[in-house]
Structure 1
Amino acid sequence: MAIRQRFAALNESVRLQGDAAQHEQTDAWSNRDLIPLPPSRRTWGWFNFFGFWSIASLNLTNWQTPNTYLTQGLSVRQAMLVIVVGRVLIAMFSTLIAWAGLKWHIGFTVQNRYSWGLRASYIPLLQRILLNFIWNAVQCWNGGRLCAVCITAIWPSFARIENTFGADMPTTTYEFIGFVVFWFLSTPFLWLRPEKFRIPFFIVCTWCSAGMLAWMIWALAVAKGVGPLWNTGQQIPTGSSWSSSWLIMAGINQSIGGLAAGITNGSDFSRYASARRHYVIGTITSCLITGILVSLVGLVTASAAQKIYGETYWNPPDLLMVMMDNGNGSSKARAGVFFLSAGFAFTAMFENICGNTIAGGIDLAGLFPRYIDIRRGAIITFLAAWIVQPWQLINRATTFIAVLSSFSVFLAPMIGIMACDYYILRKRKVRLSHLYRTEDSSYYFWKGINWRAIPAWVCGWAPTIGGLIVTVRMDANPSRPLLQLYYMAFLIGFFISGTIFYLLNLAFPVPDMDQMDDVDIYGTFTAAEARRLGVAPLTTLVGITGKEEYVQTSVAGGEKGEGF
């Protein structure tokens, strides 16, 4: 009995508690971070979204993006064309998926419940949790390299530190210390809730943008112009089976696929918008301006540095070490390198917190709502970096990283199902109260599973998985049709899954798909939103013997309608 009492006390102490006055019920399907966000928590203006997408651009990967396409044989102009088209499509798909968050103020975790069913929604959820765990670890490792450069700029002897690891450890003491420093410096940000991200966004955007521009200007001034890399023309190898058109198509697919997880994150953060226009303005301007400019600045800097040092350095940590002669350079050179590497490191730090750990926290909250909220889930995701051991992935399992980069093969079909269901089948209407219960829920389907979503999802990735496999295995003579399908994997997955999901719903219709609540049960909407949606605002909550009854007022003015 004593053990049972202790267990009950422990269970009660770790369970989350919500504020009933704010409709923050905590049960098997809901907690404070999963319910539709009330107006008081919707604090993001246009700059928050500009910053959110900017940190996805102000990073090492985007800086090096032109190199990916130049290596394949495309010209500089063709490489930039791929980047521009890719960014336009990213902005479009992101807005498409984020709209449910803007209108109904729910995130990806809850959004999938009306498409997959409450229990089957764990399928996309578990995939994203896996991705968040691994990419968090990889980002920590990449950020650790920047921290190691910062330490070397302060203490040059750090670059010559003795490697105390054995031959079976695929890293060095130098790299591992950078990883540990980065991980510990990132930890305090886990306690920062998304509502408070504005100041970090401002610091990141200002510091890293100024650093990148200063770096480019310095390189151009020292080199007295752009180097030969800038004039690279099309150099597709003779005898290559791929034309420039196919390589451009593959590049666009890769560009979108690289941010596919961020696209699915759209509603997780769009629900924090204080107004829809803030999301649209911030997202589009950041995707199109910051995303393109960072790649262009990286290209110009690498080209000018080629003229200075006689070699092409695409990886910023490598170029920074050369600039300060591995720590043996002048104090001015080391100060400049510290400023640049610290800016990159802080950006990587907050990009990882926002894009991986916070997103992982939201998804874990969807699995265990009684015990995990965003903060606890973020901490779990961050701790998982030690279990994943990124030094093993980065230095040994290069094919595994290639698989992760191509995971859009599985994500694109999910996005297609989400878009088809929300815009075509449900006509942008959602019953919020049915997303958080199994009894008499329109979204419980058959034992919590909407079986239509599963074959639609499988059909979306089945045609392209073969191309992914032969690419990862690096087959000498892969099937050309398999690769052609793989080079269009995102668009193929999106449209095939969306179409099949639509046809299955026509053949096996679900009743009342375009219904929504008559009452704003969670206090989600402002008065203007309630009028626009035709939803009666909640006025009183009366307790009745274990049940709750909502007393409502009529909708003030206007007939029921959708509204923009």
Structure 2
Amino acid sequence: MTDNNNASLSQVETLKIDKSLMPRTEKQRNVSPIAYAFMWIGDGVNLGNMTLGASLVVAGLATMNVLQTFFAAIIAILIISVVFTLNDRLGYRTGIPYVVQLRMSFGIKGSIISSLLRGIPGIVWYGFQSWIGATALNEIIKVLSSDTFDNIFICFLILQFVQIVLSLYGFHAVKWVEILISIVILLALIYVFVLLVMNHRDVIVEKWFHTEGTWGLPFFSFVMMFLGNYAAIFLSAADYSRELKPGISNRKRGLLYFIPIVIAYGFVLTIGVMLASATGNSNPVKAFAIVVDNPYITVAVSAFIVLGAIAVNMVANIIPPAYVITLLTKVKYKVAVIITGLLAIASFPWVLVQDSSAKGLGLFILIYSAFLGPIVAILLVEYYILRKQRVNIAELYDEKGPFVGFNKAAVIAMLIGAGAAFCEVSLSWVIGFFVGGISYIILMKYSFKSSPFRKGTIFDK
């Protein structure tokens, strides 16, 4: 027996809730596997991932060699794909979004805290991607204006306005744009890769290939950083899988994550390290301008960067926070999208990456991962172990049902997991994941025995 979805949809439809948060029916799901895969390629070929690769280079010298970099990336991508496939299953089967899925473990009121811990990083990433895109847009205008214009902040505001307008059209409006942008950006990056190999091979080999690096704690720290870059996205996996056409097996869905992320993430990380090694600059846009010493090619590459920033924001950084705002404020989805865009402006993304170092971005990822690891562990424990994949969907929407209030066991387990993660920030996600998950099982079994959240679980007497 699986999720009690079909029998309860009629009950859900009678509740007062924005239609964007209602369960998706089979007829409403029209994203094909190919479009879904390209969506994740489009998400992966972005400047945030490239900057993460650049963060391996400090003072012009890589902290890990090429073999260590690829091993760290593959380990992270394997974990990402497995967690994605496990956590997307409830959304895929029932059509519910992440903010409703959270109610299963945290309760209707408790989900407010846990949903904010997903929404806030999404908003900051939204601002960061827009800032990087604005840096590229500024390079374009500088070339076209013969250096008479140079104002990244104005470009940032322009780009933010464009993205807010585009995002008003919803998830499906950009799926074909994602495919086109993915292909174009990959071709542009292949050109940059060839250019780096031809003109900067010796310095890249010296600073990245020949460095001793480490297989110790810093290596695993980078695994966690690579993983943490996707921690917020696979936490809200239901927001994406609920749009995917039905009838796709778990294994195939896993490949729809693994293959595109390997292609995009691995390639972009590599170029990020190579650019930083060749130029000593951790800002990929400025590094591009140094490597591509041709104003017309700079304009073309910068245009692709701008498109990439828009593509990744449309997929990963607008929809989840907008759902959170819709749930918390009861405003319509389009209003929530506008609020999300305005909050991204106020996130001060330029603080995360300086020309000399991208350590701020890495530290930001590790800090919020400390909370996201325990949350995803609690969701997986709840769904697979405590409830054996049986969930009454109507009860998740019922403001007077068994999930009203907050689940003290989940909130405490999340805080215990996050506290343990902060004991070793470099391994925050994995520590928080295991400590949070184990704590949740223990608390659900031995504490709060009169809690209504035990109903329907293996601890329900």
TM-score, with length taken from structure 2:
0.86
What are the within-5 Å matches in structure 2 for residues 317-356 of structure 1? 317-323=285-291, 333-356=294-317
Q: Name the counterpart of 1:489.
A: 428
| Superposed CA offset, 1:407-451 (max 9, x none) | 100111101100100010011111011011133x2323xxx1211
> Cα 1:492–1:225, aligned 2, differ >3 Å: closer, same or farther?
closer
Q: Structure 1 stretch 401-410 or stretch 253-262: which is displaced more?
A: 401-410
| Identity, % of aligned positions | 20
Determine which structure has more spread, i.e. the larger CA radius of gyration. Answer: 1
Say yes or no: does 1:385 pair with 2:344.
Answer: yes
Say yes or no: does 1:422 pair with 2:379.
Answer: no
Q: Which amino acid aligns with 1:411?
A: L
User: Which whole-Å CA distance do the structure 1 matches of 2:157 and 2:52 have between them?
Assistant: 27
User: Which whole-Å CA distance do the structure 1 matches of 2:15 and 2:301 have between them?
Assistant: 45
Indicate if the aligned counterparts of 1:417 and 1:497 stay in contact, CA closer than 8 A: yes
> Cα 1:48–1:126, aligned 2, differ >3 Å: closer, same or farther?
same
Structure of higher RCO (CA pairs closer than 8 Å, 6+ residues apart) = 2
User: Which whole-Å CA distance do the structure 2 matches of 1:391 and 1:225 have between them?
Assistant: 32
| Superposed CA offset, 1:370-407 (max 9, x none) | x322x2211110022344444566679x9975653221
> Cα 1:449–1:42, aligned 2, differ >3 Å: closer, same or farther?
same
In structure 1, runs of 5+ residues without a counterpart are: 1-19, 162-172, 237-242, 326-332, 467-484, 516-564
* Count of residues paired in the alignment: 438
What are the within-5 Å matches in structure 2 for residues 61-460 of structure 1? 61-71=48-58, 73-158=63-148, 161=149, 174-222=151-199, 227-229=204-206, 232-235=209-212, 244-275=215-246, 276-277=248-249, 279-300=253-274, 306=278, 311-323=279-291, 333-369=294-330, 371-373=331-333, 375-391=334-350, 404-406=364-366, 407-439=368-400, 441-444=401-404, 448-460=405-417
Between structures 1 and 2, the one with greater helix share: 2
Indicate if the aligned counterparts of 1:98 and 1:266 stay in contact, CA closer than 8 A: yes
Indicate if the aligned counterparts of 2:135 and 2:285 stay in contact, CA closer than 8 A: yes
| Superposed CA offset, 1:1-39 (max 9, x none) | xxxxxxxxxxxxxxxxxxx99964452xx2211121011
| Superposed CA offset, 1:460-516 (max 9, x none) | 0112324xxxxxxxxxxxxxxxxxx3332211111111111112222245132379x
Distance apart, 1:73 and its partner CA? 2.9
RMSD: 2.9
Q: Which amino acid aligns with 1:77?
A: L
Indicate if the aligned counterparts of 1:211 and 1:343 stay in contact, CA closer than 8 A: yes
> Cα 1:65–1:125, aligned 2, differ >3 Å: closer, same or farther?
closer
| Superposed CA offset, 1:242-296 (max 9, x none) | x632121111111111221111121111111103346333212112222212223
> Cα 1:500–1:283, aligned 2, differ >3 Å: closer, same or farther?
same
Q: Which amino acid aligns with 2:42?
A: I
Distance apart, 1:178 and its partner CA? 2.2
Indicate if the aligned counterparts of 1:323 and 1:337 stay in contact, CA closer than 8 A: no
Say yes or no: does 1:500 pair with 2:439.
Answer: yes
In structure 2, runs of 5+ residues without a counterpart are: 1-8
Q: Which amino acid aligns with 1:454?
A: V
Distance apart, 1:231 and its partner CA? 5.4
TM-score, with length taken from structure 1:
0.71
Indicate if the aligned counterparts of 2:288 and 2:298 stay in contact, CA closer than 8 A: yes
User: Which whole-Å CA distance do the structure 2 matches of 1:312 and 1:391 have between them?
Assistant: 19
User: Which whole-Å CA distance do the structure 2 matches of 1:288 and 1:223 have between them?
Assistant: 25
Say yes or no: does 1:50 pair with 2:11.
Answer: no
